[in-house]
């Protein structure tokens, strides 16, 4: 059974069909990229899966359960964490505190007045572990607003990882990064995902990043899936090459 199934997902905005009968599956341990030009429906599909917006038709099945239309916090509790195109961090707090808050959000006893020390201690430990996985331990005590843009992007990923998700959704994780920052970020992601214990959906414009990270690729055009498969298969698809990849080889 796939970890995630999108079944005939449709999202209409008036006369505009932003997502048009999309079927997609993600297996446990799979890294799947979603690509396409601006307006292809990538962000809308991303938001349908996380229930930021609700589908006009269709279903989202996670770990065998229908999660279509559930509140965003309920989706998160079930094991789906995400990042955003624009960094969602607390700039006035240290990197460690940003990640600790994210870790604490998943704890059942996070708001207890009595016995809260155990939650704080556990969350702090999980925060340090997440920072180490993303090579951010050296800036744990630095205010997030003072970090480089590349480290801020990695910090947001650390915040998502600290929530102990089964499915991690990364929305343009290398957006705005320099070539060097992108190479570092991809290296960190590859190392973090090497054990295969985490499934990932990746929306990304940088095709080099996609081909370095993804096991499979879903290509959207005007809300529809026009190609789906392994990078080598998608890469030589004539329609995809013409529309999105140009002469990239």
Residue pLDDT, tens place only, 59-92: 999 999 999 989 998 999 899 999 988 888 999 9
| Mean pLDDT, range 232-242, rounded to an integer | 83
**Domain end call among 111, 134, 164:** 164
Q: Domain range holding 38?
A: 1-76+166-249
Q: How far apart are CA 165 and CA 184, in angstroms?
A: 23
Residues 64 and 91 in one domain: no
Checking if the pLDDT of 147 tops 80, the result is yes
Residues 244 and 172 in one domain: yes
**Domain end call among 164, 194, 216:** 164
| Mean pLDDT, range 225-248, rounded to an integer | 78
Residues 11 and 23 in one domain: yes
Nearest CA-CA partner of 158 in 181, 188, 131? 131
**Domain end call among 164, 179, 196:** 164
Residues 156 and 170 in one domain: no
Return mean pLDDT, the chain: 89
Residues 123 and 87 in one domain: yes
Checking if the pLDDT of 40 tops 80, the result is yes
Residue with tokens 């429906």: 41
Q: What is the CATH classification number for the domain harbouring 108?
A: 3.40.50.300
Structural domains counted in the chain? 2
Residues 155 and 189 in one domain: no
Please, are residues 203 and 33 in contact by the beta-carbon 8 Å criterion? yes
């Amino acid at each position: 059974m796939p970890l995630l199934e999108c079944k005939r997902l449709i999202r209409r905005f008036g006369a505009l069909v932003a997502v048009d009968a999309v079927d997609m599956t993600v297996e446990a341990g799979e890294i799947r990229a979603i690509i396409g030009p601006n307006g292809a429906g990538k962000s809308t599909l991303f938001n349908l899966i996380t229930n930021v917006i609700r589908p006009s038709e269709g279903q989202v099945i996670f770990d065998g359960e229908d999660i279509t239309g559930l509140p965003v916090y309920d989706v998160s509790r079930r094991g789906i964490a995400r990042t955003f195109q624009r960094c969602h961090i607390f700039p006035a707090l240290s990197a460690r505190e940003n990640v600790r808050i994210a870790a604490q959000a998943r704890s059942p006893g996070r708001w207890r007045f009595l016995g809260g020390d155990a939650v704080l201690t556990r969350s702090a430990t999980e925060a340090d572990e997440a920072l180490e996985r993303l090579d951010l331990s050296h800036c744990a005590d630095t205010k997030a607003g003072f970090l480089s843009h590349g480290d801020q992007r990695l910090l947001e990923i650390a915040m998502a990882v600290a929530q102990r998700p089964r499915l991690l959704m990364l929305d343009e994780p290398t957006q705005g990064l320099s070539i060097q920052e992108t190479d570092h970020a991809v290296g960190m992601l590859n190392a973090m995902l090497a054990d295969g214990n985490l499934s990932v959906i990746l929306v990304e414009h940088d095709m080099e990043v996609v081909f370095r990270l993804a096991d499979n690729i879903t290509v959207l055009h005007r809300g529809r899936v026009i190609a789906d498969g392994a990078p080598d298969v998608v890469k030589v698809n004539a329609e995809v090459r013409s529309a999105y990849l140009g002469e990239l080889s």
